[in-house]
């Protein structure tokens, strides 16, 4: 079987000390492609280097809403340059109200971009992807209303876009799918408390399902993780990209179908969305 990771962060510095063994293990377990998402200008070069060295890496470049406040005056030119240098996708981009509310709740003045500023940066990147027909990886937390409004009024890439770790409602699945959405399931949703998210994924059309690890984050439940990995300095647990196989097994249980059949379906969906990126 071949497995396809719709979203991870292999360039993350926490994975750097283990990179050689990680790549060897992902190949061993059958990971055919992985979309590696840049989050800001600082890490885009690392994503590009991984893609040049490892053919299984499909690079994606974008400004994550958590880092929008750090962008330089040249960020748009730099993003265009990165997209022109390699066949690539756009992402991780999106909207996040949760991070703003969390900072306020902590009693700390928010240092993140406001939602209007996030919307401006997101919209520009979405338009760029639409102009070039590049697949987009979208992050959204507690901002589904504003996201839906933008997707309805703005041009979208004809190839579609993926809602990474989709956490919206069941009711939004159909309207988002009509706009071109794919929905990516992480292993983190195997945790018992994530029953609402699992119910939403049961409503996802079969031809719009993708699977992801979001490594090194979004840990699987301990009993499902097959590839333990810890931060070399802090000792904190990290999500190993080879845990993708375990996420497929969780998905097969959720949808009550053999993992072999699920893998074929997910491969078809992945190729339909990302196949234009060589």
Nearest-Å Rg of the Cα atoms of the chain is 18
Query: Is the predicted pLDDT of residue 109 greater than 70, yes or no?
Result: no
Q: 39 φ, ψ to 5°?
A: -120, -15
39 CB neighbour count, 10 Å cutoff: 24
Would you say the pTM of this structure is higher than 0.85? yes
Q: Would you state the pLDDT for residue 155?
A: 98
Domain boundaries, the chain: 3-274
| Three-class HEC string of 124-166 | HHHHHHHHHCCCEEEEEECCHHHHHHHHHHCCCCCCCEEECCC
Q: 96 φ, ψ to 5°?
A: -150, 105
Q: Would you state the pLDDT for residue 104?
A: 58
Measured between alpha carbons, how far is 51 from 56 in angstroms, rounded to an integer? Answer: 8
Q: What is the mean pLDDT of residues 220-226?
A: 94
Q: What is the pLDDT of residues 52-68, one digit of tens each?
A: 999 999 999 999 999 99
Q: What is the mean pLDDT of residues 39-55?
A: 98
Q: Would you state the pLDDT for residue 224?
A: 96
DSSP 70-89: G--TTHHHHHHHHHHHSS-E
- Give the chain's mean pLDDT: 96
Burial code (b: 16+ CB inside 10 Å, e: under 16) for 244-256 equals bbbbbbbbbebbe
Measured between alpha carbons, how far is 49 from 253 in angstroms, rounded to an integer? Answer: 36
H or E segment and range at residue 3? strand 3-8
Tokens representing 266 are: 């997910």
Query: Is the predicted pLDDT of residue 258 greater than 90, yes or no?
Result: yes
206 CB neighbour count, 10 Å cutoff: 12
Query: Is the predicted pLDDT of residue 110 greater than 70, yes or no?
Result: no
- Could you give the 3-state DSSP secondary structure of residue 249? helix
Q: What is the pLDDT of residues 10-22, one digit of tens each?
A: 999 999 999 999 9
**Dihedral class, residue 2 (left if φ above 0, else alpha if ψ from -120 to 50, else beta):** beta
Say if domain 3-274 classifies as CATH 3.20.20.140: yes
Q: Would you state the pLDDT for residue 108?
A: 57
């Amino acid at each position: 079987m071949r497995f396809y990771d719709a979203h991870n962060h292999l360039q993350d510095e926490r994975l750097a000390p283990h990179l050689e063994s990680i790549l060897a293990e992902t190949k061993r377990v059958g990971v055919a492609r992985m979309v590696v998402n840049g989050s800001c200008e600082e890490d885009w070069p690392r994503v590009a280097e991984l893609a040049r060295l490892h053919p299984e890496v499909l690079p994606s470049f974008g400004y994550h809403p958590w880092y929008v406040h750090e962008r330089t005056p040249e960020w748009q030119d730099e993003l265009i340059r990165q997209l022109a240098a390699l066949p690539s996708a756009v992402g991780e981009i999106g909207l996040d109200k949760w991070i703003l509310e969390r900072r306020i709740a902590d009693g700390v003045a928010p240092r993140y971009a406001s939602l209007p500023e996030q919307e401006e940066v997101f919209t520009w990147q979405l338009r760029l992807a639409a102009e070039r027909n590049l697949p987009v990886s979208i992050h959204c937390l507690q901002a589904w209303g504003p996201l839906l409004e933008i997707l309805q009024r703005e041009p979208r890439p004809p190839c579609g876009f993926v809602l990474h770790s989709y956490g919206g409602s069941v009711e939004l699945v159909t309207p988002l799918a009509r706009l071109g959405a794919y929905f990516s399931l992480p292993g983190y949703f195997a945790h018992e408390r994530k029953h609402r998210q699992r119910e939403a994924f049961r409503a996802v059309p079969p031809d719009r399902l993708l699977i992801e690890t979001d490594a090194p984050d979004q840990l699987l439940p301990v009993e499902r993780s097959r590839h333990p990995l810890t931060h070399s300095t802090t000792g904190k647990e990290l999500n190993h990209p080879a845990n993708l196989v375990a996420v497929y097994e969780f998905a097969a249980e959720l949808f009550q179908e053999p993992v072999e059949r699920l893998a074929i379906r997910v491969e078809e969906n992945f190729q339909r969305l990302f196949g234009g990126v060589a």
